[in-house]
Amino acid sequence: MRHDRIALRDYLVADVEDPRINVKSILTRHFLIERLFDERYNELMEHELRFGMFMNWLLTLLKKQISVFQLHAVLDALLAGQDNAEGLEIPSYISETFNTLTLPNYICDLLNWAPVETTEVPIPEYLMSTFRTIWHEILISEQARCISVLEPACGSANDYRFIENFGLAGFLDYTGFDLCKKNILNAKRMFADKCFKVENVLEINEKNNRFDYCFVHDLFEHLSIEAMEVAISEICRVTRQDICVGFFNMYDGDRHIVNAVDDYHWNKLSAGRTKAIFECHASEVQVISIDSLLASKYGCFDTHNKGAYVFIVKI
């Protein structure tokens, strides 16, 4: 509540947090897509993950003020099958991704979009939204049963905005809540007809098993460990099937590192201990370190946040 309402609306959907390219947000949408359509879109989901990795690599280059000519050199190297563009090493996952695409493709567009004078201009929206356009076009003619979904700590509809404009919202009976009134005001201004409300995750005002599924991001690090235990039991109580949980500050250690900041927390959570709390309420907990996943599956070693994790919890 200390923060400006407009800043709250915008800060978690910008740059590497942009849900179109943030791997945790992409995996959350995939979590929902798999629940709706089983394995039908596995191949497209794989392409979207690669898009996210490419975009994060490109953003890193742009922050280092790469020139337009260097971007063109990268494209020339990719077209020629080379792994080096005038001294700039091209990671193998970028070349592999390039080779999965037919020509012309989004990589060609993204390496060519900048005017000759500077790369310090925003990437055009239509390129940022490459997969939004694809999913929207596909899902518009899809049919599936409606699933009820809860999102605690939804912020200013940060992820929901992209669930909506990717074409997924029509399949969901969605409820989002947040403790912060300004966030809910922002969400309501964007989606007046959707169920967004002010509520506390420590006492969710819903019946047991009310929702088929739940997803929640970047909340638990901000709670005391005792409050986190209560929040996890509440989320598991109201969810009937699966939960997708995102973390931004987790590690493979065996104790939580508690860091209280005023009334808030900025903890570094132990993956094992947090998993154990979920296991008190769930039949299965899958722990995914984004960094390890991208390294082992794609040879991508430059994720921007080594502390990013996703749990897939089965009640």
Ligand X SMILES: C[S@@+](CC[C@H](N)C(=O)[O-])C[C@H]1O[C@@H](n2cnc3c(N)ncnc32)[C@H](O)[C@@H]1O
Residue 284 burial (C-beta neighbours within 10 Å; 0-12, 13-18, 19+): exposed
Judged by CB under 6 A, the stretch of 34-42, 46-54, 118-126, 199-207 that binds ligand X is 199-207
Give SS3 for 281. coil
Binding segment for ligand X (CB under 6 A), chosen from 42-50, 106-114, 162-170, 177-185, is: 177-185
Pull the structure tokens for residue 107: 């990589």
Comparing CB distances to ligand X, the nearer of 132 and 217 is 217
Contact 88, 75 (CB under 8 A): no
Q: Which of residues 10-49 bind ligand X (CB under 6 A)?
A: 12
55-63, 64-72, 212-220, 300-308 -> range binding ligand X (CB under 6 A): 212-220
The stretch near ligand X (CB under 6 A) out of 78-86, 154-162, 163-171, 234-242 is: 154-162
Integer Cα distance of 288 and 309 in angstroms? 6
d(CA 289, CA 307) in angstroms, rounded, equals 8
Binding span for ligand X by CB under 6 A among 50-58, 74-82, 111-119, 174-182: 174-182
The residues, any chain, with a CB within 8 Å of residue 129's CB and separated by 6 or more, are 20
* Gap between the Cα atoms of 206 and 29, Å rounded: 24
- Least Å distance, CB 96 to ligand X, is 29
Count of Cβ atoms closer than 10 Å to residue 12 Cβ: 19
Which residues are registered as beta bridge partners of 214?
150, 243
Q: Is 149 in the site for ligand X (CB under 6 A)?
A: no
**If binding is defined by CB under 6 A, does position 200 make contact with ligand X?**
yes
Pull the structure tokens for residue 129.
């939204």
Q: Is 153 in the site for ligand X (CB under 6 A)?
A: yes
Nearest approach in angstroms of CB 67 to ligand X is 33
Of residues 9, 35, 306, the one with CA closest to residue 187: 9
Of 185 and 295, which has the nearer Cβ to ligand X? 185
Q: What crossing angle do the helices spanning 42-63 and 92-100 adopt, rounded to 10°?
A: 130
Q: How far apart are CA 214 and CA 241, in angstroms?
A: 8
Please work out the total of residues on this chain that contact ligand X, with binding judged by CB under 6 A: 17
Token output for 132: 């939004």
Binding marks (x or -) toward ligand X, 222..261, rule CB under 6 A?
x---------------------------------------
Per CB under 6 A, the list member of 178, 212, 234, 291 interacting with ligand X is: 178
In whole angstroms, the minimum distance from the beta carbon of 1 to ligand X comes to 8
Residues that bind ligand X (CB under 6 A): 12, 152-155, 158, 178-180, 183, 200-202, 217-219, 222
